[in-house]
Amino acid sequence: MHTLNLTLTIIGTMILIIGVLANLIKNRWYISAPIVALLVGVLVGPTVFGLLDVANWGDQTRVLEEAARLTLGISLMGVALRLPDRYLWQHWRSVAILLGLVMPLMWLVSGALAYLFLGVPFWVALLIGAVVTPTDPVVSSSIVTGDLAEKNIPGYLRHVLSSESGANDGLAFPFVMLPILFLTRPPGEALTHWLTYTLLWEVLAAVLIGGVIGYLVGHVQQQAQRTFPEHTEQISLLSVTLALSLTVLGVVKLMGSDGILAVFAAGIMLNRVVKGQEKAEQEQIQDVVRRFFDLPVFVLLGMVLPWAQWIELGWAAVWLVVAVLLLRRLPALVAFSPLMGQVQRRSDALFLGWFGPIGIAALFYATMAVRETQHEIVWIAGSLIITASILVHGVSATPLTRLYGRMTRHAAADSHEQKQPKRAQPADERMAPHPR
């Protein structure tokens, strides 16, 4: 009971301070809320003060995996509701390029870098690459939401990053499962299982099941309020989405499919049904989710970071982190950005290419991979890259967002001046003799 009360005190106080000082932390100190939570975890964990230890709560890997799964589910529902209605259908080309071209390249490049710098076996390297492939919706939300983002980042760019971070978290599942299967089963059996069970049931069926549940929940709520307004309680959209997230996570997991992808599909379909005044609650949902539900898992991560194992990797760890952050995403997105109608300028491609943070989605897959394969190097390398991304992207978010905003405004001003017609010279000025 003492541990529980101490945990509640630490996390509650942290969330309260972040909530009160949110603008100061982000706009003046240039750090994000996930960084603060991560540092709190390091301080209260065994590394510094030793106030809390996840190992005392049970299987550490399992605790982290389930905490990350719950955080992802709730966060992805918020991301889906933040997107404009029918966004994925109207901008399918951009989404298809990000998921069909950029995402596989992110996996292969990250895997190749792990193979090069760590010298691990082929399938283990691909597993590490798959773990760090998804763009994290939790860290991305801290970048694309808030007053600073709304003033400097155009809506189309914020929506592109949100839609990608929502969709590729679940779609990273088959990339993670392929090396897991080849590491734990004979090659023929592994490939067959991946092509049939993983792709058809754990991916395709998850999308269908989640979408149906989300549509039915939204339709029933809207219909009930229209038909029996005097007998139907006006339920907050926040409570509906939280309950829907937990329901889909549990139901789909019990069915043996991918609950992460199913939650995003449920949120997309709910977003299509919910109309009118309830849309105004979406910003409230994002704020509550980001500050209350997302931050505790970063505290857990800070408590369990494998410092000693990182040091044992030596300089290979440093070069791996630098190479992954620079090469995992940025070159591919810059190369394919001309095919994306929404990415209008080179600055758009650079901004979107840099801000593909690695976070809780990678934490979920890293812990799942270790549980399935017992290859600890996946956790060691994965946690290192996750921590580096949280720090680097969190610190660079505010200055680069402001820089992007200034560049965009200057480009718009220059374009406006070029389009303005030149003022015609008055007739008397044209006829006046040139002074000697």
- Reported confidence tier of residue 106, pLDDT bands at 50, 70, 90: very high
Domains identified in the chain and CATH numbers: 2-21+31-51+61-407 (1.20.1530.20)
pLDDT for residue 434: 46
Q: If you average pLDDT over residues 410-433, what whole number do you get?
A: 54
Residue entry with tokens 């801290």: 142
The whole-angstrom separation of Cα 18 and Cα 128 is: 32
Task: Give 46-78 pLDDT, tens digit per residue.
Answer: 999 999 999 889 899 999 999 999 999 888 888
Look at residues 305, 325, 314, 322 and name the one whose alpha carbon lies nearest to residue 383.
305
Q: Which residues contact 323 (CB under 8 A, 6 or more apart)?
A: 113, 117
- The identity of residue 273, as a single letter, is V
Choose between 433 and 29: higher pLDDT: 29
The whole-angstrom separation of Cα 361 and Cα 359 is: 6
Look at residues 89, 99, 100 and name the one whose alpha carbon lies nearest to residue 211.
89
Q: Which residues contact 132 (CB under 8 A, 6 or more apart)?
A: 110, 324, 328, 358, 362, 382, 385, 386
CB of 174 closer than 8 Å to CB of 195: no
Residue 421 has pLDDT above 80, yes or no: no
pTM: 0.90
Q: Which residues contact 206 (CB under 8 A, 6 or more apart)?
A: 170, 252, 257, 258, 259, 261, 262, 265
Task: Give 129-138 pLDDT, tens digit per residue.
Answer: 999 999 988 8
Q: If you average pLDDT over residues 211-227, what whole number do you get?
A: 84
Residue 417 has pLDDT above 90, yes or no: no
pLDDT for residue 235: 56
pLDDT for residue 81: 82
pLDDT for residue 115: 98
Q: Kindly report each contact of residues 252-256 with a partner whose C-beta sits within 8 Å and lies 24 or more positions away, as own/partner.
A: 252/206, 252/209, 252/210, 255/209, 256/201, 256/202
Choose between 285 and 367: higher pLDDT: 367
CB atoms within 10 A of CB 178: 22
Task: Give 198-216 pLDDT, tens digit per residue.
Answer: 999 999 999 999 999 999 9
Burial class (CB in 10 A: 0-12, 13-18, 19+), 1: exposed
